[in-house]
C-alpha cells in the first residue's frame, strides 16, 4: 500500500496550532466523492483558500508560501488530528505528499490512521517541537531516520519513541489488513481444522 | 499446565504469533451496528476487500434508531441519522452479511440480541465496534469491543491482532441480599477498586453469588466490566447457560448440540490456574448502589451520602455538595433500558415497584425495552400497561437514552436516574446529570420523585 518509510528528508511546514481537528484538516464539504482519491485539494480548505468556491489561494497560509509548498513534513501543536475519526483527513494529507507529522501529541484514532496510511506520527516534547519549527522557518530541512528512531533538523538530533508494531508497518510499507492477509495460509489452515472441531460456529 | 477459562478461550482461537507480543486471533462472529457499520463496510468495499465470511457477520440497527413508539423504518433519533440507517442497510446487503433491520422482529440492542438469537455461545469469539461487547462473556464467549478500523480488519481477514491481556478473577462470595442486583454488585466493585481497577485485564467473575445469578443478571455484570476498564469479562458456562441457549435460532441444533455442550463443559478455570490478581468480595456487604458523580467509581449505597472528599469537578457538574444524602435528592427524569438493564427481568423488577403506583409529578419517565423480543415478552405479560399506567413512556427498542446522539433528551441540569452504564459528563445530553442504578432503584426513584431505596417499595399486591 504505502511506500516503505526508512529515511526521509524534506521540507517541514510549521502549523503551530493546538487541537487541529479532522474537520479542519478536511472539511466535510470537501468529502464529496465516495472515494479516497482526489481529497488533497480539500486539505485544510478552510485555511488554504480565500473561498471554497474560487479556490483562490490564501497567501498567508503556510502551505501556500513558496518555501513550504512542497513540504512533506508538518510540524504542529498539541492534540493534532483530534475530533471525528474520519480517515479522509489522513488520506488527504497522504495525497498531498505529507510523510511525517511532528507534534506534541495526536488524536489517538488519527495517529492509528496515519500509521495505516504510511504517515509517520512523531511525538516530541513541546520545546523540541518549537525548536524544530524555528529551524524550519529559517529554511532548515528535516531528516527522519525511522529504523534509527531519530530526526535531525539544523544541528540538532532528536530521538523519538514509536511502538514496535507501528514501526514495522511503516518501515515495511504495510497496512494492517495486508499484513494479516499475508498470513492467509495460516488463517485458512486454522479455519479448516476449526470447522471440523466446532462445526456449530460455522453454520450450514 | 493449569489454565484459566480465558487461557482456554485464547488458545482455541490463536492462529499464530503476530509479532511484537501480539497473537493473531480468529474471529468467529463480527457484529456491526448502524453508527459505524455502514462506514466500515463502505470503506472495505472501496478498498476492494470482500468480507471473508459474510455468513458470520451481522449488522443490527440499534444505536441511533428512533425509540418513538411506532417509528418509521428509517427514522433516527439523531439529526441526519437516517443516512447511517439507510447506508448500513445498503452496504450490509451489498456485502451479503446478515442484516437485522429496524423493522425486523429480532431487532434490538446488539448485545441484547446476540444472546437471544444464540449468536453468543460459549467458546465463540465475538467482536463488535461497541465497548459493551464484553457483556457476552456472561455466556462463556470471548467477546470484546473494538474500533471501527479493527472491524474492517476482522471482516476482511477473519482475524485480529491482539495482545493477550492480563487476567484477574473477581469472586463474589456468599449471597446478594434481597433487592440487591448484579448492577449493584458491579457498581460496588468499581466503587471499591476504581474505574481503572480492571485496566487491560480479562476478568473472570466467579463465586457463589455469580453462580446463583440467572443469565440476564450475568449479562449485566459482564456489561459493566468495561466501566472497570477491563479488556473483557467472562463467566464459566454452566447448566443455566446451556438451558438458556437450547433451541435459540443460531445455537447448535440437535445433532451438534451434544458435541457442542461437551466442549463447553471444559470451559472453566482449572483448580491450580494462576491469575495476575484476585479480588474477593462478600456479596452480603453489597447494598443497592447509586452513582453520585461523573465516573462509575463515584458510587455509594442508596442510603449513603456524597463523600466528604468528593472531586469538586464532579460535584459542580452534578450540582451536589459533599455530604448530601443521596435518597433526598429530587429528580427530573428516569430512564430504564440499555444493554445493561433492558432485558425482561429488568423490566419485571421495575414493574414490581411500579404496579399500582404513579410516577411523581414533574418526573419524565421513559422505558425502552432492549429488543423486540423483550418488548413482546413484556407486553405479553402486561408490563407495558404497568409502565404506562404508572406514567412511563414506552418506547421502541434501541439504545435510546443510553447516550446522547443529538436530538431529543432531558434538559440541561436535569437529574436523571438511569439503568444505563455511563455517567460521564454529557453522556445523556448536555448538562444532564446521570445517576446510575438498578432498574428497581430507578423505578422507586421515579415514584418517590427523588432517589429512593426500592426496598421501601414492596410490591403492592404484597402490601395490600
Ligand atoms: S445501550 Fe448504550 S452501552 Fe449499550 S450498546 Fe447501546 S449505546 Fe452502547
Q: Is the CB of B402 under 6 A from ligand 1?
A: yes
Indicate yes or no: CB of B26 within 8 angstroms of CB of A190: yes
Residues of B in contact with A190 (CB under 8 A): 15, 26
Rounded Cα gap, residues B90 and B71, in angstroms: 20
Distance from CA of B390 to the nearest CA of A (A): 41
What is the distance in angstroms between the CA of the first residue and the CA of the last residue of chain A?
36
What ranges in B331-382 are assigned the alpha helix state H? 338-341, 344-354, 372-380
- Residues of B (103-162) whose Cβ lies below 8 Å from A: 121, 123-124, 147-149, 152-153, 156-161
Among A1, A35, A201, the residue to mutate for chain B (most B Cβ within 10 A) = A201
- State the number of CA atoms in the 13 A half-sphere of B227 facing the CB: 29
Contact A152, A143 (CB under 8 A): yes
Q: Is the CB of B6 under 6 A from ligand 1?
A: no
Q: What is the pLDDT of residues B223-266, one digit of tens each?
A: 999 999 999 999 999 999 999 999 999 999 988 999 999 999 99
A100-137 burial code (b ≥16 CB/10 A, e <16) = bbbbbbbbebbbbbbbbbbbbbbbbeeebbbbbbebbb
Angle between helical axes of B372-380 and B383-390 (0-180°, round to 10) = 90
Q: What is the pTM of this model?
A: 0.88
Residues of A in contact with B20 (CB under 8 A): 163-165, 168
Task: Check residue A34 and give its pLDDT.
Answer: 46
Instruction: Give the strands of the sheet with B14-19, arranged side by side.
Output: B14-19, B22-26, B159-163
Q: What is the pLDDT of residues B414-427, one digit of tens each?
A: 999 999 999 999 99
Taking CA atoms, B46 is separated from A20, B382, B386, B411, in Å, by 27, 48, 50, 41
**Ligand 1 centroid from CA B145, angstroms:** 11
Task: Check residue A32 and give its pLDDT.
Answer: 62
Of B19, B148, B156, the CB nearest to A85: B148
Task: Check residue A113 and give its pLDDT.
Answer: 86
A80 beta partners: A106
Residues of A in contact with B251 (CB under 8 A): 200
Q: What is the pLDDT of residues B442-463, one digit of tens each?
A: 999 999 999 999 999 988 876 5
Flag the least confident range among A50-54, B86-90, B370-374: A50-54
Q: Is the CB of B419 under 6 A from ligand 1?
A: no
Tell me, what's the ipTM?
A: 0.93
Amino acid at each position: 500500500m504505502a511506500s516503505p518509510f526508512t529515511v526521509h528528508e524534506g521540507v517541514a511546514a510549521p502549523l503551530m496550532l493546538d487541537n487541529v481537528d479532522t474537520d479542519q484538516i478536511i472539511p466535510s464539504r470537501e468529502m464529496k466523492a465516495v472515494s479516497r482519491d482526489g481529497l488533497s485539494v480539500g486539505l485544510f480548505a478552510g485555511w488554504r483558500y480565500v473561498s471554497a468556491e474560487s479556490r483562490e489561494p490564501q497567501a498567508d497560509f503556510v502551505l501556500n508560501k513558496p518555501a513550504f509548498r512542497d513540504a512533506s513534513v508538518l510540524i504542529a501543536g498539541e492534540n493534532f488530528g483530534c475530533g471525528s475519526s474520519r480517515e479522509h483527513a489522513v488520506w488527504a494529507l497522504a495525497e498531498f505528499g505529507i510523510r511525517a507529522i511532528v507534534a506534541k501529541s495526536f488524536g489517538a484514532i488519527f495517529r492509528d490512521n496515519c500509521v495505516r496510511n504510511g504517515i509517520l506520527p512523531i511525538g516530541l516534547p513541546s520545546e523540541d517541537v518549537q525548536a524544530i519549527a524555528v529551524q524550519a522557518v529559517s529554511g532548515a530541512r528535516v531528516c527522519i531516520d525511522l529504523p534509527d528512531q531519530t530526526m535531525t533538523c539544523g544541528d540538532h538530533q532528536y530521538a523519538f519513541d514509536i511502538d514496535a508494531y507501528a514501526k514495522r508497518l511503516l518501515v515495511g510499507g504495510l497496512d494492517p489488513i495486508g499484513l494479516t492477509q499475508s498470513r492467509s495460509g495460516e488463517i485458512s489452515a486454522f479455519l479448516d481444522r476449526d470447522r471440523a472441531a466446532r462445526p456449530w460456529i460455522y453454520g450450514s | 499446565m493449569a489454565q484459566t477459562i480465558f487461557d482456554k478461550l485464547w488458545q482455541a482461537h490463536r492462529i499464530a504469533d503476530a509479532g511484537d507480543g501480539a497473537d493473531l486471533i480468529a474471529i468467529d462472529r463480527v457484529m456491526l451496528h448502524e453508527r459505524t457499520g455502514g462506514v466500515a463496510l463502505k470503506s472495505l468495499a472501496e478498498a476492494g476487500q470482500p468480507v471473508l465470511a459474510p455468513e458470520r457477520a451481522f449488522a443490527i440497527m440499534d444505536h441511533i434508531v428512533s425509540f418513538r413508539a411506532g417509528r418509521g423504518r428509517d427514522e433516527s433519533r439523531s439529526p441526519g441519522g437516517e443516512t447511517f440507517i439507510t447506508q448500513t442497510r445498503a452496504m450490509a446487503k451489498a456485502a451479503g452479511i446478515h442484516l437485522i433491520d429496524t423493522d425486523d422482529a429480532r431487532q434490538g440492542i446488539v448485545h441484547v440480541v446476540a444472546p437471544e438469537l444464540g449468536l453468543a455461545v460459549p467458546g465463540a469469539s465475538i467482536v463488535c465496534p461497541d465497548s459493551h461487547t464484553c457483556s457476552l462473556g456472561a455466556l462463556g464467549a470471548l467477546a470484546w469491543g473494538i474500533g471501527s478500523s479493527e472491524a474492517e480488519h476482522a471482516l476482511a481477514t477473519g482475524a485480529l491482532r491482539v495482545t493477550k491481556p492480563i487476567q484477574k478473577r473477581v469472586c463474589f462470595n456468599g449471597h446478594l441480599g434481597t433487592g440487591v442486583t448484579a448492577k449493584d454488585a458491579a457498581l460496588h466493585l468499581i466503587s471499591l477498586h476504581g474505574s481503572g481497577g480492571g485496566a487491560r485485564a480479562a476478568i473472570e467473575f466467579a463465586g457463589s453469588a455469580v453462580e446463583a445469578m440467572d443469565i440476564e443478571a450475568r449479562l449485566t455484570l459482564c456489561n459493566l466490566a468495561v466501566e472497570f476498564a477491563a479488556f473483557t469479562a467472562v463467566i464459566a458456562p454452566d447448566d443455566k447457560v446451556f438451558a438458556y441457549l437450547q433451541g435459540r435460532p443460531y445455537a447448535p441444533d440437535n445433532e451438534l448440540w451434544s458435541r457442542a455442550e461437551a466442549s463447553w463443559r471444559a470451559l472453566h478455570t482449572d483448580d491450580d490456574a494462576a491469575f495476575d490478581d484476585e479480588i474477593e468480595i462478600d456479596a452480603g456487604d453489597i447494598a443497592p448502589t447509586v452513582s453520585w458523580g461523573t465516573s462509575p467509581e463515584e458510587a455509594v449505597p442508596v442510603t449513603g451520602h456524597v463523600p466528604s472528599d468528593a472531586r469538586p469537578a464532579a460535584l459542580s457538574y452534578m450540582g451536589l455538595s459533599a455530604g448530601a444524602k443521596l435518597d433526598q435528592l429530587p429528580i427530573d427524569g428516569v430512564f430504564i433500558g440499555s444493554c445493561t438493564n433492558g432485558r425482561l427481568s429488568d423490566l419485571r423488577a421495575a414493574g414490581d415497584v411500579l404496579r399500582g403506583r404513579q410516577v411523581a409529578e414533574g418526573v419524565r419517565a421513559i422505558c425502552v425495552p432492549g429488543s423486540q423480543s423483550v418488548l413482546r415478552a413484556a407486553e405479553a405479560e402486561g408490563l407495558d400497561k404497568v409502565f404506562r399506567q404508572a406514567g412511563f413512556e414506552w418506547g421502541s427498542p434501541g439504545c435510546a437514552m443510553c447516550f446522547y446522539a443529538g436530538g431529543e433528551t432531558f434538559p440541561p441540569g436535569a437529574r436523571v436516574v438511569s439503568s444505563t452504564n455511563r455517567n460521564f459528563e454529557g453522556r445523556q445530553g448536555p448538562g444532564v446529570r446521570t445517576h446510575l442504578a438498578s432498574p428497581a432503584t430507578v423505578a422507586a426513584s421515579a415514584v418517590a420523585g427523588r432517589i429512593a431505596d426500592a426496598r421501601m417499595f414492596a410490591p403492592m399486591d404484597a402490601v395490600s
